[in-house]
Amino acid sequence: MICSNCHQPLDDGAAFCGNCGQPVANNAAPSPQAPGQAVPPASPAMPQQPVVPTGPLAPQPQPQTNPVALSPSPAVVVNAMPPTATGAYDPTAIEPKKGEVKAIIGLILGIASVPGSIIPLLGLVLGIVAVVVASLSIRVKKVMAILAFVFAGIGIVISILLWIYAIAHDPRLHNQLSSNQQTVNTPCYKFDLSSSLKVTQNGCEINALNGSEGSASVALVIQTQNVPNLTASNLDQIAKEAGPSLASGASQGSGATATITSQYSGSFVGNPAYYFNIKDNRGDKSQAAMVYYDLANGDNTFLIIVASRNGTVDSISSLESNFAWK
């Protein structure tokens, strides 16, 4: 037999539980045992003195079971963020809609930048904004963001090209540039020359300086000559023989010793020519060319000399872009 209160074994014939004092009466419950299992012998109980009640039985104190401490229930936190499939909070779960909106805006701006490039500034701004907005959504809408980049890139490139074209064809700019040019017009040829050079003309010959003679740092000289027996086929041979005198005439000022540093055969505005690169002992540089060209007065040679004092000399071939024979 076991006590129905504390579930401890009871002595045979006991009126009270020797452990908790619960009256036995009819509350004892048989000790549970597995079917077919032998009942183990009861352990000997501690000898107790029989309790003889002398008066009315006082109410027995009820044994207290171990109370379960009630802990305050934790506050329920309502998570406004959507959980993932595993129940854990995913901080990026709220981003897809925002990223999708940015990708759509970026794509619209990128597409708009292409026709908007007709106004270069508008197309450039739309393209740049499209790139920035699409870059913020590339992790969410990769394909849409890439399309936005492509359209924006096309719009930006077209805008830049149209802008360059507009600047290059701006009449205000051309007027400003032409104001820095002067036209040299002779009976034999014409061409444009910097207005910083003072030009002296005598027939088909000119002398252009950016200062007074002897102190000018830039000079352009074109002279005509009649060289006997000169033809296009023997121009190189005759020019080589005349090279030293050309070098001496190209040096500026007295006391200068000029040296030909290189020479080569070429052409000038479609006519045979022979070129000399010259440098003197003061560091002044010049280039001379002997050009074969028949004139009505019997002259057959143009001597062209471009000289620069203590600087880089311009190539004679740079005159060809606007030089025209008559």
**Domain-wise residue ranges, the chain:** 1-39, 96-168, 182-325
Q: Distance between CA atoms of 316 and 289, rounded to whole angstroms?
A: 8
* Residue tagged 């740079």 (tokens): 318
The pLDDT score that the predictor gives to residue 95 is: 57
Q: Distance between CA atoms of 194 and 210, rounded to whole angstroms?
A: 9
Task: Identify the CATH homologous superfamily for domain 182-325.
Answer: Mog1/PsbP, alpha/beta/alpha sandwich (3.40.1000.10)
Does residue 198 have a pLDDT over 80? yes
Average pLDDT (137-152) is 91
- For the ranges 68-82, 139-153, 177-191, the one whose mean pLDDT is highest: 139-153
Which carries the bigger pLDDT value, residue 38 or residue 9? 9
Which carries the bigger pLDDT value, residue 85 or residue 205? 205
Q: Distance between CA atoms of 263 and 279, rounded to whole angstroms?
A: 12
For the whole model, what pTM was predicted? 0.46
Question: Amino acid letter at 233?
Answer: S
Does residue 82 have a pLDDT over 90? no
Label residue 18 by pLDDT band (50, 70, 90): confident
The mean pLDDT of the chain is 78
Q: Distance between CA atoms of 22 and 282, rounded to whole angstroms?
A: 132
- For residue 9, count CB atoms less than 10 angstroms from its CB and return exposed for 0-12, middle for 13-18, buried for 19 or more: middle
Does residue 57 have a pLDDT over 60? no
Label residue 169 by pLDDT band (50, 70, 90): confident
The contacts of residue 187 (CB under 8 Å, 6+ apart) are: 203, 204, 326
Does residue 123 have a pLDDT over 50? yes
At 78, list the tokens. 């309502």
> Do 272 and 235 form a contact (C-beta atoms < 8 A)?
yes
